[in-house]
Structure 1
Amino acid sequence: MTEQRYHVMGMTCGRCADRLGSEVGGVLGVNGVHVDLGTGSVTVTGEAFDGAKVCAAIAGAGFEVAAVL
């Protein structure tokens, strides 16, 4: 299982976190998404997912990837 964390800019509320979790959760190969609104981090787990597609899903939800941690 692979795990990757992303620092995301622009999340301000629980609805933002829910929207982001739904978008990222739809990426092929993603099994789990944990959004931490307080730190602005998103932890993605899965068997084999494409990090570029995760970043694209984050952008598609209206947020910006500040860093891949």
Structure 2
Amino acid sequence: MTEQRYHVIGMTCDRCAGALETRVGSVHGVLSVGIDLDSGAVTVTGEALDGSRICAAITEAGFEVAAVL
């Protein structure tokens, strides 16, 4: 099991977090998505995670990846 963390810009409410969690959660290999609205941190846990696909899912959900942590 691996974990990847991202700093995401644009999440302002629980609805934003829910949309992002759904989109990122649909990426192959993702088992869980943890979101901290206050810091903008998104923690993705899973097997054989593809960072480029996760970043694409974040962007497709309408948010910006500021950094991979």
Category of TM-score, reference length = shorter chain: over 0.9
**Residue-pair matches, total:** 69
> Would you say 1:54 and 2:51 are equivalent positions?
no
TM-score under structure 2 normalisation? 0.98
1:16 equivalent to 2:16? Answer yes
* Percent of aligned pairs sharing the same letter: 68
Query: Whole-Å Cα distance in 1 between the matches of residues 18 and 51 of structure 2?
Result: 20
* C-alpha distance in structure 1 between counterparts of 2:64 and 2:21, whole Å: 14
TM-score scaled by structure 1?
Answer: 0.98
Q: Distance in 2 between matches of 1:38 and 1:45?
A: 20
* Structure 1 segments unaligned to the other structure (5+ residues): none
Aligned-pair Cα RMSD in Å: 0.4
